[in-house]
Structure 1
């Protein structure tokens, strides 16, 4: 029993010491464009680098430890929604919602 508790303590310490996945970097969107996410002041800005709307900022997110929230804009319709992002490895799950009820998600891939 003592060995089991010691092993559990080591496993817990190992996971607590791991750094959260960063959101900063270049991402391939679900529609194939490249988006860059980087610090802009105290938040992270999402800027399209390629495609029809290249150069347009489409989001502002705040957070840490792989979980972020803020606003996301659909550049095709120029409508802004409450949004969130969750980083897991090389995937970023982006979600935009109207009234926190009607939501649409897509997964971006780290480049």
Structure 2
């Protein structure tokens, strides 16, 4: 009986953790940028979401980019309604931009902006898992 109670408590703890997961968490595929694309793992970082490049691809297939393991989405804080604000890093020019993310189902729109958000470039990422 004691083992059953402990197992039930452990199960409830896992369910509570899963229920608190941010809906943006997971692996996302970027759009092609400068001939390559990546899989990015979005995961909690403090009270925000951060994204790390975990796989990289080009026209020849998967390759070992020097950007693997680097954080591309930085401190995206939830704003409600699927919106996030933080920073994004663009590997092709090594610049960090004011970032915005909007989650809509299995799509994630990311924007990197300058001039206080007046000029933005965007990509739409697809959920891989």
TM-score range, shorter chain: 0.7 to 0.9
Q: Between 34-43 and 59-68, report the one with greater CA deviation.
A: 59-68
**Offset, 1:26:** 0.3
**Offset, 1:54:** 0.8
Mind listing any 5+ residue stretches in structure 1 that lack a counterpart?
Answer: 1-20
| Alignment pair present for 1:47 and 2:60 | no
State the TM-score, normalizing by the size of structure 1: 0.77
**In structure 1, distance between residues paired with 2:27 and 2:77:** 17
Within 5 Å, give how 1:1-111 maps onto structure 2: 22-31=23-32, 32-51=37-56, 52=65, 53-60=67-74, 61-63=76-78, 64-99=80-115, 100-111=117-128
Equivalent residues, number: 91
State the TM-score, normalizing by the size of structure 2: 0.66
Mind listing any 5+ residue stretches in structure 2 that lack a counterpart?
Answer: 1-21, 57-64
CA RMSD of aligned residues (A): 1.3
